[in-house]
Amino acid sequence: MKDRQALLRRLPSVDSLLARSEVQQLVRDYSRDLVVGAIRWQLNEARRAILASALVDIGEGALVQGAAGELRRQQKSTLSPVINATGVIIHTNLGRALLSKSAQAAILAAAGVYNTLEFDLETGKRGSRLAQASGILRDLTGAEDALVVNNNASALILILSGLAKGRQVIISRGQLVEIGGGFRIPAILSESGAELVEVGTTNRTRIADYEDGLSEGSAMLLRVHSSNFKQVGFVEQPSLQELTALAREHGLLAVDDLGSGALLDTARFGLDHEPTIQESVAAGVDLVCFSGDKLLGGPQAGIIVGKADALARLKRHPLARALRVDKLTYAALIATLEHYRRDEALEQIPVWRMISRSPNDIRTTAERWAAQVGGAVVSGESTVGGGSLPGTALPTALLALECDSPNRALEKLRGADPPVIARIAENRVLLDPRTVLPEQEADLLTALESVI
Ligand SMILES: *Cc1c(COP(=O)(O)O)cnc(C)c1O
């Protein structure tokens, strides 16, 4: 105890540390307030360490280094760029979909100058911020109208609050899912003031089950796509056509939460068939909602397409204003949708460029990496990610590196500038060229050389 008190007394004061020349340099690099804050933080850490174990004796040099490290951590943006060598294309923790070059340019162009977000050049009067995006969405999906909100979770909340509050929503027990991060369908329903009526069983629900669930209080039949899991075996769900027909017959709304919202057929690339937006619209459902930054490959957004009357009710709802999106989102979304209209999505939209990249092309890249840094090229799989297409993968080629400690190597790669995110299998570090951008290749190889 006495030793501890002695060590605590030996800790320098803030002022004496501030007087050191290397600390004066930090004051010039950051600011006096930030440096004083970091020194106080470091001295507190030192006090805690001393009280926890009497033997720590921290010199002034180490204290200054600790404070400098804290300053660097504070300055590091939470949006630091990284190299995604995981092969997971829509990586939820790494920012989901990357934007195309023209979507990026559209954001820049909209950011710094006034624009026609809500201005009609012909009449000189107020225009609609949605007009252009909904025009393209109508063209692409065949729907009557469209609405764009903050994300698909908020699209669902708007639909349920706006059209089913105080009434019943019928859902199959097989679709009462958790989408991720604690976002659960039953919780969303109760938060929106709608009453959940569960029908069928976990694995099988028939149209007759929906029929049995109907009552005076029914407002909506909701289908939720099982985005992030797959049921196989003795399973059954009615088709969207059947659901829509039942809804019509009883004057109810049929709503489809598609999750990912593909405009192109993933089966073309050897993946499972992810239901497309066009299919849902063609089935006649009243509303279809999906994310902007999953398979659509655009900015974060929740997009609702469907029948004009249901959408008109949603647009008038106060929540629509609260959940509306910014001009930057519109700029990027319109640019992304234009790629589909010009039939250039596979070349221009990163998500689809990565999905459609040929295994041979990927192997050539992996071999180039191996020639420079060593390691072996092995066959493996990339996944689409983003809670879509569970259980199916794309064949790929990987650079496999033997390391004494793969975990330590992964940690070192994360410490590189820019950080490299890779994965481990069978005690080897694996790097998938599919998700590495060509302009990141030189940095990746530098990082690999320093780690091996
Ligand atoms: C991903 C997903 C959502 C949530 O979409 P966000 O855009 O992340 O808010 C909702 N429903 C389904 C079925 C999903 O897959």
User: Residue with the nearest Cα to atom 2 of ligand 1?
Assistant: 259
Percent of the chain with pLDDT over 70: 99
Q: What is the mean pLDDT of residues 371-389?
A: 93
Q: Which amino acid is present at 424? A: I
Which atom of ligand 1 lies at the shortest distance from residue 227's CA?
15
Phi, psi of 329 (to 5 degrees): -65, -45
- Give bridge partners of residue 91 from the DSSP assignment: 96
Which atom of ligand 1 lies at the shortest distance from residue 291's CA?
7
pLDDT tens for each residue of 100-121: 999 999 999 999 999 888 899 9
Gap from CA of 436 to ligand 1 centroid (Å): 25
pLDDT class for 22, splitting at 50, 70, 90? Answer: very high
pLDDT tens for each residue of 7-20: 888 899 999 999 99
Which atom of ligand 1 lies at the shortest distance from residue 180's CA?
1
Residue 180 has a pLDDT of 79
3-state helix, strand, coil in the chain (%, to 5): 50, 20, 35
Residue 181 has a pLDDT of 78
Phi, psi of 30 (to 5 degrees): -110, -105
Helices 32-52 and 2-10: angle between axes, nearest 10 degrees: 170
Per-residue pLDDT at 421 exceeds 70: yes
Per-residue pLDDT at 324 exceeds 70: yes
Q: Which residues contact 126 (CB under 8 A, 6 or more apart)?
A: 118, 119, 120
Q: Which amino acid is present at 188? A: I
Gap from CA of 112 to ligand 1 centroid (Å): 31
Tell me if residue 176 falls in helix, strand or coil: coil
Nearest to 287 by CA among 307, 273, 261: 307
DSSP string, 303-330: EEEE-HHHHHHHHHSHHHHHTB--HHHH
Gap from CA of 384 to ligand 1 centroid (Å): 15
Mean pLDDT score across all residues of the chain: 94
Q: Which residues contact 107 (CB under 8 A, 6 or more apart)?
A: 99, 328, 331, 332
Ligand 1 site, CB within 6 A: 151-153, 179, 224-225, 227, 257, 259-260, 291, 302, 387
Residue 230 has a pLDDT of 87
Q: 80: how many CB neighbours lie within 10 A of its CB?
A: 9
DSSP string, 387-419: TBSTT--EEEEEEEEE-S-HHHHHHHHHTSSS-
The C-alpha atoms of residue 384 and residue 119 are separated, in whole angstroms, by 39
Residue 184 has a pLDDT of 92
pLDDT class for 55, splitting at 50, 70, 90? Answer: low
Cβ 311 vs Cβ 301: under 8 Å: no
Mutate to test the pocket of ligand 1, among 152, 177, 290 (most ligand atoms within 8 A of CB): 152
Gap from CA of 153 to ligand 1 centroid (Å): 6
The C-alpha atoms of residue 144 and residue 286 are separated, in whole angstroms, by 10
The C-alpha atoms of residue 297 and residue 349 are separated, in whole angstroms, by 6
pLDDT class for 56, splitting at 50, 70, 90? Answer: low
User: Residue with the nearest Cα to atom 11 of ligand 1?
Assistant: 259
Per-residue pLDDT at 57 exceeds 80: no
pLDDT tens for each residue of 134-184: 999 999 999 999 999 999 999 999 999 999 999 999 999 999 999 877 889
pLDDT tens for each residue of 384-417: 998 788 889 999 999 999 998 999 999 999 999 8
